[in-house]
Amino acid sequence: MVLLIQCSDKVGLVASIAGLLQQQNLNIVSMREHVDATQGRFYTRIEINGVTDSTLLSQNLAAELPSDAVINVNPNPTKRITVLVTKEYHCLSDILIRNHFNTLGATVACVIGNHAVLGEICARFDIPFYHISHEGITKDVFEEKLQQTLANYDFDFIVLAKFMRILSPTFIEHYPLKVINIHHSFLPAFIGANPYKQAYERGVKLIGATAHYVTNNLDEGPIIAQQIISVNHSYTTGDMVKSGKEIETAVLAKALQLVLEDKVLVFQNKTVVFD
């Protein structure tokens, strides 16, 4: 069982939580905590052994903790994801392979693409694929079709595996902190389109990738994972794109591992990651 808590900080929080768990004969296997001194906020992730009523445990904890406490007892251990794609295959193929060999930490419910080109690889892995074109229709109609298809599935997260389309605030509001994107830049550098072109023109010596939750602010949602690699003056934009695909795949895989293992807590526009 996993217990996630965040609340205003005060003296004795760890002792209160540990004492309550002891009263219910629950053994703490692992406990990680962090205090953001600037915000005066406490975060913890606890792995527990023992049998208990999750609702009762949550209620008992709420009675002991500050009134603003956010408590999540035993998040869904068998998670499902849906994946949105365009044409690029590298992130999707990694997800499908991990799903096939049961190392993803979740089950892929379906894949939706605004182009049809990735339907074949989904068929090879026996994953439902839906082609919903954005061409010749408004964004509102396109997103309505996305939502109608998504409504046929139970899922915990939507993964934008190089989806390359900006989703509207109306769409995002339906799935708060449920949409995860991989952006081909070390954010906050080079927000928006063509970041490799922007990086090449700026003459940077490092490029990177960022996995983040999607919010109404383009490429500015809470960051889950990032990595960088070195480049030099000899790299063309194409060279950067080729190198970047490898790091994009790795960063998205890392971010999904963290999220699916319930190791990420979000407050305002920042994350606490218990890696």
Residues designated catalytic: 219
- Contact between 208 and 227 under an 8 Å Cβ cutoff? The reply is yes
* Helix 13-23 vs helix 54-64: crossing angle, to nearest 10: 140
229 class by beta-carbon count within 10 Å (0-12 exposed, 13-18 middle, 19+ buried):
middle
Hey, which bits of the chain come out as E strands? 2-8, 27-36, 41-49, 70-73, 79-85, 106-113, 129-131, 157-160, 179-183, 206-213, 223-230, 264-267, 270-273
Q: Which residue has the tokens 């490092």?
A: 206
- Contact between 274 and 32 under an 8 Å Cβ cutoff? The reply is yes
For residue 174, what is the DSSP state? T
Q: Alpha-carbon Rg of the chain, whole angstroms?
A: 21
The DSSP line for 111-142 is EEESSSTTHHHHHHTT--EEE---TTS-HHHH
Query: What pairing do the DSSP bridges indicate for beta strands 2-8 and 70-73?
Result: antiparallel
CA distance 258 to 262: 6
